[in-house]
Amino acid sequence: MTTVGQNINELSTPELIVDLSIVDKNYKTVSDAYSNSHLKMRTHTKNLKSPFLARRQVEAGGSNGGVCTAKVSEAEVMIEGGFNNILIANQVVSDDKIERLCSLAKNADMKVGIDNVENLNNLSKFAVKHDVNLGVLIEINTSMFRCGVRSSEHAVDLAKAAISLPNIDFKGVMSHQSIKEPDPSKKERWDIGEAYIDTFLDAKRAIEEAGIDVDIVSTGETFTFDIVLKYPEITEVQGGTYALMDVNYPYMPFEIAAKVMCSVIDINLDKNLITVDSGNKCIAAPNFAKPILEGQDAELKSMNLDYSTYKVPDANKLKLGQKLFLLTTHQDGLINRWDKFVGTRGQIVEGVWDILGRGCYH
C-alpha cells in the first residue's frame, strides 16, 4: 500500500515514479520562455496521458489552455479532465471514430489533422449529420514521411477544399518533426529545426498567398522548444516529451521526471552483473533500445519481460534489495505501460494518480 508522506524507498517495486517538483520545473522553463511571447504551448498529452499533469502546465503559464491528443479516446479523457480546447494532432478516418469526434464537438472546441480530401469530405458529411463544426489543420510533412501532405501545392488544394465544405472550419496548419542525431551540437540542432520549420512555413505562406487565412500555426516539439521563438508566424507549440522527459534529449533544458524504481534481485560478483526486477513489460525499450540504470555506469546485458541484467563496474558496491532507477528511451511508451503513477517531491510520496489515457488507442 502506498501512502502519502511515505519515503519512496519503502515502496514495493517496480514502481513508476514521477517527481512533481521536476515536472513543475520543466513547466516553468516553458512558462518563462513563452508567457510573454507571441506563441504558446499546447501540451501533447499522448505522452502524459493525465489531465492532472496536463493542467499543471496551464496553471504554470505559457500555455494556450488547450492540449493535443493523438486519438479520439485520448480526447475524451482530456475533456472529462476539464479541457475544452483539443487538437487531435493526427488523422481520424474511420466512420465510427468520426461519429465519436462529432459527439465530442458538442462539448468542446475540436480540431483534427487532415492530409486527404476524401477524409475531409467525410468529416464534413458527419459534421453536417451531427450539426457540429469541426476545426481542421492540414498536416505538413517536413521530415518524418508519416502522415501529412508532401507539398505546398497539395496543402493549398486541401485548404481550398476545406473552406468550401459545410461544417468544416479551416483553422490552419500543423507538423511534427523528429531529430535522429543522438547528441547534436546547438548549431546542428538549430540548423535541423530551422530547415523543418522553414519547409512547414512555406506551405503556410502558400495557403495565405491563395487568399486563405491561417489562424493556427502549430508545430514544434521538445527539441525545437527554443527555435520556434524565432518565428513570429508560429502560434503554438506541440510539446510532449519535455514534461516528463526521457534520455533522448540531454541537451535540452528539461530534466527527467518519470523513472521506474526497481530493486536488485540478483548479484553475480564474479561477473559484476546485477539483475533488477523490471523488464520490457514495465519500461519501454522499442526495437531493442537500452534503458539506462541511473547513476551506475552500467551496461544492459539482457532484458526480458520481467527482468533486466546489467554489467556494473563493481557489483560489490550494490546490495540485494537495493532500490535503483531505470530511465527509458521512449517516455510515452513507458507511461502507456502503467495504470497509475506515484507522484513525489524528491523522496516523499505526494499522491498516487491514475493514468487515465493509458491504453487509449482508439
Residues that bind other proteins (CB under 8 A): 12-15, 46, 70-71, 73, 76-77, 90-91, 93-97, 100, 115-116, 118-119, 141, 144-150, 263, 265-268, 277-278, 280-282, 284-289, 303, 305-307, 320-321, 330, 332-333, 336-339, 356, 358-362
| Dihedral sign (CA 235, 146, 257, 298) | negative
Omega before residue 14 within 30° of 0, cis: yes
* Residues 351 and 46 sit within 8 Å (Cβ to Cβ): no
Chain mean position to CA 310 = 29
* Residues 327 and 292 sit within 8 Å (Cβ to Cβ): yes
Tell me how far, at minimum, the Cβ of 332 lies from other proteins, in Å.
Answer: 5
Tell me how far, at minimum, the Cβ of 358 lies from other proteins, in Å.
Answer: 6
Radius of gyration for the chain, computed over Cα atoms and rounded to the nearest angstrom = 22
Burial track 109-143 (b if 16+ CB lie within 10 A, e otherwise): bbbbbbbeeebbebbbebbeebebbbbbbbbbbbb
Tell me how far, at minimum, the Cβ of 141 lies from other proteins, in Å.
Answer: 7
Tell me how far, at minimum, the Cβ of 284 lies from other proteins, in Å.
Answer: 7
Tell me how far, at minimum, the Cβ of 282 lies from other proteins, in Å.
Answer: 5
Question: What span, in angstroms and rounded, lies between the C-alpha atoms of 113 and 80?
Answer: 21
Chain mean position to CA 312 = 32
- In the structure grid, which three cell numbers stand for residue 40, read together? 504558446
Tell me how far, at minimum, the Cβ of 220 lies from other proteins, in Å.
Answer: 17
Per DSSP, the chain holds a count of helices (H) and strands (E) of 9, 17
Nearer to other proteins, 33 or 137 (CB): 137
